[in-house]
Every structure is written in structure tokens, then in C-alpha cells.
């Protein structure tokens, strides 16, 4: 059944060679100053270009969007030029890559903000169980508690929507094949969707319809730039059993099924290429309910990507059942640049090393061997 992952599938304008996805994985290797993608990053993505589809690590759309030191941006000419090295390397190998457009909102720190200002968010509510990461010296940093953010004005929200549209233009200029809106993991778009983080009393808060307004406006604005066939959105619905040390991966709603099916209806109305669902991925994490998976499929006519602690067999089973079109593998793809071939051939996997996961050099980044090596 694992051969189901080794079959072509159409995504927007692209015919993908297989159904294995490299999902967005924060690696914190951008050049400083300037948060610019590097030759080393280009090599990292080139090594993994046999994925049927790739999404870049989150790339902040503006300076206020950064929550972790050394993550790349996509709002300056130098950043666009840096990413072009990456897309050129991927395309030379026949790969397809989208840019993930990222804004962390309240999951930041004054040390990362322009002029040391407070982070911005839908409401002035601190992200109590999330951490930002700041540089404390050359190549070293520390996890920090985010401060209470400043609530955005309606005009600033309008300006942020324009930032997303401009970032999408920049991504196309950098050679990306499309873009993914990061609406997961407790970051800005997720904060607007969540009743726990959004306590506004204007048109962006209160009812679920209002809390989805920011998402609708971003999707509309970005679609106008790239076209629906070059757009995806990522969500991280959590249903129960949240490990309190992992709350940063999302926000648990009172009715996550209703919340996210309504959000997916927004995507369906826009005709975008795909929705990506990031599942809880820690030990003993709860599975997504089958009823939710079925509702996603019946609601959304585009491609559906699932990411979590998938094996080849488990992912292929979901594709075989018609509930998924592509399966994303995160940690295994870090340690195995030739992951698709290993999965398709039943070859053993390299073990993931903790060293080099975040920040650093080629160690733990581009030095993992191919199977033949």
C-alpha cells in the first residue's frame, strides 16, 4: 500500500511526482544581519527536492512578524535574492516549492521587535505557554516568555493584509511556485481565529464569522496576487489531551470541529489549491477524529495534506481511504534528505540528532547521508 505515496498527483498547475511532502520546518539558519536565506539553506532544500512537494520554513512577512532569532524574512530585496538561490536549487532538481508566509503575532519578544516595541496581536492577551527565542550572543540564544502584546487597530489589520499580499508578490519574485499562509500553531492568523486569543468587540472579534474575517481577507488578497491554484493554508486543529508543554503548536477551541470546518469553508469558497492540517505530534497525542477527517474531505474539493507522526504505511492508508492526497513528514525529512526513496524502497532511516536542530552550521543540517552513502 505504501506505493500509493509513490504515485503522481496534480496540485494547482503542477503534476507532482509523488505524494511525499517536505513541510515547513523552522531551522534558524538565515544570514545575519538581515535574516537572509543562504547558500547553505539552498543546499538543504536541494538535497530534499525529490519530495513531491515542498514548503519552505516559515518566513516572516514583516519585521514585527519574527518570534525566533535567525529565521528568514521575505520583505526586503536582499531576502528575495537569498530565497532565489533556494528556488533555483530546487527547480534545478525538478522540485516544486511554495513559501510559507509567517507572522507570529504575540509569540514574540521586545528584543525581536522594531525599536523594542511590544509584539502585536488581535488582543492584549499574553501567550502564557509559548516561548519566543532571542539571540543573547553570536550564535547563541535563549527562550523567553513573550510579553503582553499590543492590540492591533482596525487600520493596522488592513495594513497587515497588505503585507501578506506584498509578501506573496515577493515570493513569486524569488521564484517560488506558490505560497502557503501559516494559520496554525498559535501564531497571528490562529490568534484571530481563536476565542482564547481574540477578545475584540469590532468586526474582527466576537462571533466565529468575525474571527475568521482576517483569514478571509488575507486569502482574498493573496489569491488576487498569486491565483488560487498557487495558494495553500495550514491549520493545526487540536481536539483534546493537549500537553501543556506543547500548547504553542495551537489553541484548543471549545468546538474545534465546527471552528475549523467553518475555516475550511472559507478556503473552499476561494478555490485555493490545498489545505494542510498539522496534527499533534508528541508522544500519546490524541488522533484527529475520523469524523473530522471525513468532514474536511466533504467540505474541501482541493488537495488535503496531513502532517504528524506518520509512517509510510499510515500515510498511504489515509490516501487509500480518500481522506488525504499528500502526506508530510517533518522530523524524518530532517534526518533523511532522500526520504521519499527510503519510504518507497523500505530502506532504513537515519536517526534524528538533536544537535543542529535549530541554528548552527551544516552540522545536523546538510550532513545527513543519503542511503547509498
Distance CA 144, CA 146 (A): 6
CB atoms within 10 A of CB 28: 18
Please indicate whether residue 187 is annotated as part of the active site.
yes
Question: Could you tell me if residue 332 is left (phi over 0), alpha (psi between -120 and 50 degrees) or otherwise beta?
Answer: alpha
Non-local CB neighbours of 9 within 8 Å, separated by 6+ positions: 15, 16, 18, 19, 52, 303, 325, 326
The DSSP result for 305-354, as a single string, is EEESS--HHHHHHHHHTTS-SEEE-SHHHHH-TTHHHHHHHTPPPPPPPS
Q: Which of 45, 164, 187, 274 is catalytic?
A: 187
Question: Could you tell me if residue 138 is left (phi over 0), alpha (psi between -120 and 50 degrees) or otherwise beta?
Answer: beta
Residues 278, 249: contact at Cβ < 8 Å?
Answer: yes
- Which helix or strand (DSSP H or E) is residue 231 part of? strand 231-235
Distance CA 89, CA 92 (A): 5
Distance CA 183, CA 25 (A): 15
Active-site residues, by number, are: 187
Amino acid at each position: 500500500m505504501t506505493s500509493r505515496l509513490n504515485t503522481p498527483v496534480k496540485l494547482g498547475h503542477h503534476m507532482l511526482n509523488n505524494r511525499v511532502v517536505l513541510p515547513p520546518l523552522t531551522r534558524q539558519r538565515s544570514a545575519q544581519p538581515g535574516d537572509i536565506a543562504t547558500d547553505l539553506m539552498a543546499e538543504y532544500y536541494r538535497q530534499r527536492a525529490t519530495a513531491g512537494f515542498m514548503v519552505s520554513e516559515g518566513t516572516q512577512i514583516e519585521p514585527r512578524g519574527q518570534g525566533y532569532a535567525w529565521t528568514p524574512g521575505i520583505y526586503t530585496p536582499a531576502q528575495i535574492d537569498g530565497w532565489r538561490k533556494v528556488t533555483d536549487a530546487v527547480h534545478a532538481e525538478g522540485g516544486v516549492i511554495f513559501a510559507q508566509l509567517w507572522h507570529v503575532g504575540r509569540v514574540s519578544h521586545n528584543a525581536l521587535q522594531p525599536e523594542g516595541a511590544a509584539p502585536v496581536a488581535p488582543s492584549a492577551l499574553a501567550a502564557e505557554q509559548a516561548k519566543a527565542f532571542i539571540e543573547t550572543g553570536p550564535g547563541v540564544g535563549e527562550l523567553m516568555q513573550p510579553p503582553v502584546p499590543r492590540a492591533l487597530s482596525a487600520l493596522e489589520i488592513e495594513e497587515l493584509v497588505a503585507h501578506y499580499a506584498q509578501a506573496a508578490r515577493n515570493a513569486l519574485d524569488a521564484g517560488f511556485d506558490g505560497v502557503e499562509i501559516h494559520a496554525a500553531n498559535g501564531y497571528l492568523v490562529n490568534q484571530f481565529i481563536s476565542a482564547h486569543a481574540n477578545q475584540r468587540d469590532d468586526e474582527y472579534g466576537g462571533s466565529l464569522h468575525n474571527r475568521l474575517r482576517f483569514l478571509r481577507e488575507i486569502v482574498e488578497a493573496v489569491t488576487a496576487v498569486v491565483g488560487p491554484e498557487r495558494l495553500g493554508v495550514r491549520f493545526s486543529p487540536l481536539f483534546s489531551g493537549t500537553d501543556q508543554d506543547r500548547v504553542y503548536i495551537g489553541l484548543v477551541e471549545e468546538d474545534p470541529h465546527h471552528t475549523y470546518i467553518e475555516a475550511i469553508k472559507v478556503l473552499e469558497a476561494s478555490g485555493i489549491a490545498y489545505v494542510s492540517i498539522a496534527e499533534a505530534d508528541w508522544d500519546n497525542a490524541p488522533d484527529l477524529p475520523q469524523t473530522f477527517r471525513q468532514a474536511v474531505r466533504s467540505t474541501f474539493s482541493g488537495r488535503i495534506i496531513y502532517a504528524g507522526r506518520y509512517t509510510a504505511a499510515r500515510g498511504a492508508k489515509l490516501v487509500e481511504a480518500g481522506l488525504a492526497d499528500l502526506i508530510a513528514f517533518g522530523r524524518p525529512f530532517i534526518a533523511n534528505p532522500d526520504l521519499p526513496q527510503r519510504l518507497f524502497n523500505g530502506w532504513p532511516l537515519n536517526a534524528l540528532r538533536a544537535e543542529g536542530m535549530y541554528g548552527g552550521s551544516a552540522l545536523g543540517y546538510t550532513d545527513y547521508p543519503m542511503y547509498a552513502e
